[in-house]
Chain A
Amino acid sequence: MSADTRRQKAERIRHLLDTEGDAVHENTQVFNEGRYESTANLDDYDELKNEARAIKEDAIERLPELVDQVTEAVEANGGSVYVADDAADANRYIEEVVDGRDVVKSKSMTSEEIEVNESLEARDGDVWETDLAEFVLQVADEAPSHIVAPAIHKSREEIAALFNEVFDPEEPLETAEELTRFAREYLGEKILDAEVGMTGANFVTADTGTLALVTSEGNARKCVQATDTHVAVAGVEKLVPSVEDLQPFVELIGRSGTGQDITSYISLFTPPSDSPTFGGNELESGDDREFHLVLIDNGRMEMREDDQLRETLYCIRCSACANSCANFQHVGGHAFGGETYSGGIATGWEAGVHGEDSAAEFNDLCTGCSRCVNQCPVNIDIPWINTVVRDRINRGEDGDFDFLVEGLTPDEEPGGVDLQKRLFGNFDTLAKLGSAFAPLSNWAARTGPARSLLERTLGVDSRRELPEFERESLVEWFEKRGPHVGRDEARRQVALYPDAYTNYVRTERGKAAVRVLEALDIRVDVPPAGESGRAPLSQGMVSTAQSNADAVYDALAPAIAAGHDVVVIEPSDLAMFHREYERLLPEDDYAALHEQSYELMEYVYGLLENGGDIDVLPGGDDERIAYHSHCQQRTLDLEPYTVAVLEDCGFDVTTSDVECCGMAGSFGYKSEYYELSVDVGETLVDEFTTEDTADRTVVASGTSCLEQLDALLTRRPAHPVRLLDTQ
């Protein structure tokens, strides 16, 4: 990416932060909190998710068979099914059916994917969006910024100004109620006049040809009831085998999306409907209604064959991955989206239906923080899809300037990977060199010309302080020092994993970890295991990540074989061991490392619970602490251990509840994303500068979180283990 492209990207993001950021943030927060609350009320949330996942896996596996089955069912009911290869094919069929008549539509992202409105309008017919948000966008001529609430970026004031300008009502519209009444009446007439009703479908049951539509306004019901012809547009992946299969989805979709237990209307239509339709002034028999189900392939059958993208087809478009994403919450779908879809899973959809170029536009906004993973109602590993697509995008680029970094980047990647990505992806090498030449390297890196060169060539934002490398690494320090607990007196033996940051930059937390574990009678070793692969993985460099993973496993294997525990300070590296290594290591190796590895404070908690003497640790004496857990740590449900240990030691702890600090490894260093990163970080800062928190000591588990807090707060934050260290 050139310096100019980075600058344009930064400008675009800055513009969206200024114009749409506040509205998007406010609305996504409501959805996000609503989801946590509503899903917590479900006794069998995980069970429902597993059930939904299993149904989707089965349906996609048997998709060709289900297409045949639904065709038979719909035709037996008196309707037609058309399977369209692509957008053009679908539009050609729909144009023939519509035949110049007026169309009223309910909300359908799939219809936006094929751009059916444009295609129909080119043929003289009127097309009206009757979902109120889609109507606003139609009037404003804008694209959706969210897959469920498409006008989420617009405030009431902006909508009022728009309507007053375009429709010039006798009394200017002002309140949400006035705007809603106006739109209802305006669209009511369009519904009355139209002859064709077009809907999407959230689900289609193969056994009976039933459409399930999840809505709240009632416009989809009206579009079907008031017209003579019903056209339903749905991706082929919307098929589920039977009516009974709808149950878990109906219980999950509203909760996962807008945080409602259920939306106002779940319509189960098995068309053609026999409800009376509108004639001139009277209701007349609906017996002659026509029904057309248009199933869209448009790349989906290829996604089905693709081992990495297949999971995308399980997506039920609930928007949980968007609402739980810190970057999305701040910038919205106009930046965090492609041609049609937005949010975390959009990378999969865009890569599959519109191609990698569309995904490349926004794919880097997924930082892999993993907050969406537990929120997805069908358990899609959304960060992994983003990583894989990033890897494919990397491989597709030209590699003219590779010689510049070739020597510095001993990675496994082919030519063509963006220089900035290779720099951050090879952090281990960089840190090793930085440490070897410290403090000279730190001084050199701080100089104006060096920073300006870094920004110009590699897009390392000069407003960020660079990490300062320690001359003596943690491993070197420990080699000289040796263990202080003898084998005979040790309760357990631990291999403390020296992640690259702890090893070369934040050695103090590594030393504190060694001393705290030793105080609890643990014999500690610090084996020279390299970078976990997190750094290259976050740049989409999967092969490099895999070779790092292999090397880390080799370095830890003797400890694992001896039955020692592996303790990890950096949560993003523990998350590698527990999540991504499943895809990178042989099954048995992954299982052994997963089984035997712990987050540092989780491990201390376990020691104290099993007879460890808490009195050897310093007492907290009611010291007031503000603790920010790490995003990936929270995904693994490991936040409570740190809080419990600190509280047991006598600290007074309050915690943040933002999804992510916004730094996310290298993300906040990149000049094109610096301002977004700071905007996300400011939300965390707001939580830590309230009346209750402003004077608290700040601790955070992740390196990135510490860097971000250090940059944005005047208090210097530290890793929580430092509170337990007597030195």
Chain B
Amino acid sequence: MSAEPIATFESSLDEVGVELVRTTADEFASTLSPLLDAPTVGTSLPFETVSLPDSVETDPSIADLEAAATGVTAAGYGIADYGSVIIQGGTDGEEPVSLYADEHVAVVAASDVLPDMDATFDQLAEDIRNGVGQSIIATGPSATADMGSLVTGAHGPMDVTVVLLEDK
């Protein structure tokens, strides 16, 4: 992956109010830890070189989900043009973990950042045909303007941070 889509990804994320934090496998633990406000819930990461700290509850109850300040999950892909991350929920619970906590921290590999919507749908079509049941293209925090002015954090998270793993 060349540097250009990552730069676009970063500026697109900025436009939707999402901070991008770059890291490497070696620095992952020290990068992640200040981003996790307790209590934190999470789902195990699919990357071989990194994992979540023990303080993260990876088998949460419903009460844990509702009380969580941070929910940390992997994201299947990023979309550079839009500043989106794609949450591919499955049996581990990526969907509730990314949805109920006040803040969602999404870990995405730099090599999984796709340039645009065309490339994204080619990829998602392939994934769906291979049995991926759920893909959420999430862009920025959940939001509503239904109560008279724009409020972030409607039914979902009010903050999103993307951790970019540069060397999966």
Q: A-side interface residues toward B, CB under 8 Å?
A: 27, 130-133, 136, 149, 151, 154-157, 159, 176-177, 179-180, 183-184, 187-188, 192, 208, 210, 216-219, 221-222, 225-226, 242-244, 246-247, 250-251, 258, 261-276, 278, 281-283, 285-286
Q: Are B156 and A268 in contact (CB under 8 A)?
A: no
* Complex interface: chain B residues within 8 A of A157 (CB): 148
The answer to whether A265 touches B142 (Cβ under 8 A) is yes
* B154 adjacent to A219 (CB under 8 Å): yes
B residues apposed to A, CB below 8 Å: 60-63, 65-66, 82, 84, 89-91, 93-96, 99, 117-118, 120-122, 124-125, 128-129, 132-151, 153-157
CB of B93 to closest CB in A, whole Å: 5
Which residue in A156, A218, A226, A282 is a CB contact (below 8 Å) of B154? A218
Asked whether A130 lies within 8 Å of B93 as measured between CB atoms, the reply is no
A266/B137 in contact, CB under 8 A: yes
The reply to whether B133 and A273 contact each other, CB–CB distance below 8 Å, is yes
Chain A residue nearest to B118 (CB atoms) is: A247
Contact assessment for A136 and B125 in the assembled complex, using a CB-CB cutoff below 8 Å:
no
Known contacts A136-B146, A179-B148: does B139 contact A273 (CB below 8 Å)?
A: no
- Inside 8 A of B151's CB, which chain A residues have their CB? 176-177, 180
Residues on B with C-beta less than 8 A from A192 are 62
From B91, B96, B144, give the contact of A132 (CB < 8 A). Answer: B144
Task: Report the Cα distance A246→B155, complex, angstroms.
Answer: 25
Task: Tell me the smallest distance from the CB of B149 to a CB of chain A, in Å.
Answer: 4
Known A-B contacts A282-B61, A283-B96; the reply to A176 vs B91 at CB < 8 A is no
State whether A221 touches B146 (Cβ < 8 A): no
- 14 sampled A-B residue pairs with Cβ under 8 A: A156-B149, A217-B142, A218-B155, A222-B99, A246-B121, A247-B118, A258-B145, A264-B138, A265-B156, A267-B136, A268-B128, A281-B63, A282-B61, A283-B96
Contacts of A263 on B, CB cut-off 8 Å? 139
With contact pairs A218-B99, A225-B99 given, residues A179 and B147 touching in the complex (Cβ less than 8 Å) = yes
CB atoms of A265 and B136 under 8 A apart: yes
Q: Which residues of B contact A221 (CB under 8 A)?
A: 95, 99, 136, 155-156
A155 and B148 contact, Cβ closer than 8 Å, known pairs A219-B155, A276-B93, A278-B62: yes
Q: How far is the CB of A79 from chain B (nearest CB, A)?
A: 11
Residues of chain A within 8 A (CB-CB) of B65 are 283
Q: How far is the CA of A697 from the CA of B84 in the complex (A)?
A: 49
Find out whether the CB atom of B136 lies under 8 angstroms from the CB atom of A176: no
Which A residue's beta carbon lies closest to that of B60?
Answer: A283
The reply to whether B91 and A286 contact each other, CB–CB distance below 8 Å, is: yes
Question: What 9 pairs across the A-B complex have the smallest Cβ distances?
Answer: A156-B148, A218-B156, A217-B154, A243-B125, A133-B146, A218-B155, A132-B146, A266-B137, A218-B142
Which of A177, A188, A286 is in CB contact (< 8 Å) with B66? A188
A264 near B129 with CB under 8 A, answer: no
A219 CB contacts on chain B under 8 angstroms? 154-155
Bound state CA distance, A275 and B148, in angstroms? 33
Q: Determine the chain A residues whose CB is within 8 A of the CB of B128 once the complex forms.
A: 208, 210, 243, 268, 270
Residue in A188, A247, A272, A282 whose CB lies within 8 Å of B117: A247
A270 and B133 contacting across the interface, CB-CB below 8 Å? yes
Give chain B nearest CB distance to A201 CB in angstroms.
Answer: 14
A285 to B134, CA, bound (A): 15
Contact B95 A216 (CB under 8 A): no
Contacts of A216 in B (CB 8 A): 142-144, 154
Cβ A243 vs Cβ B144 within 8 A: no
Least CB distance, B33 to chain A, in whole angstroms: 25
Known A-B contacts A192-B62, A208-B128, A243-B121; the reply to A265 vs B137 at CB < 8 A is yes
Bound Cα distance from A27 to B146, whole angstroms: 10
CB neighbours of B143 from chain A (8 A): 216-217, 264
The residue from B66, B121, B155 contacting A247, defined by CB atoms under 8 A apart: B121
Closest residue of B by beta carbon distance from A242:
B125
Q: Which residues of B have CB within 8 Å of A188? A: 66, 155
With A and B bound together, what is the CA distance between A244 and B148 in angstroms?
36
Instruction: Please name 7 further chain A to chain B contacts, defined as beta carbons within 8 Å, in addition to the given A268-B136, A273-B133, A273-B134, sorted by A numbering.
Output: A177-B151, A216-B144, A222-B155, A265-B142, A269-B133, A282-B62, A283-B65
Q: Are A217 and B122 in contact (CB under 8 A)?
A: no
Contact status B147-A180, CB under 8 Å: yes
Task: With both chains docked as a complex, state the minimum distance between the C-beta of A273 and any C-beta of chain B, in angstroms.
Answer: 5
Task: Determine if B95 and A275 form an interchain contact, defined as CB atoms under 8 angstroms apart.
Answer: yes
CA distance A244 to B122 in the complex (A): 6
Q: Closest approach, in angstroms, between the C-beta of A30 and any C-beta of chain B? A: 8
Chain A residues with CB below 8 A from B117, complex form: 247, 250-251
Contact partner, A180, options B61, B134, B141, B153, Cβ 8 Å: B153
**A390→B99 CA distance, assembly (Å):** 47
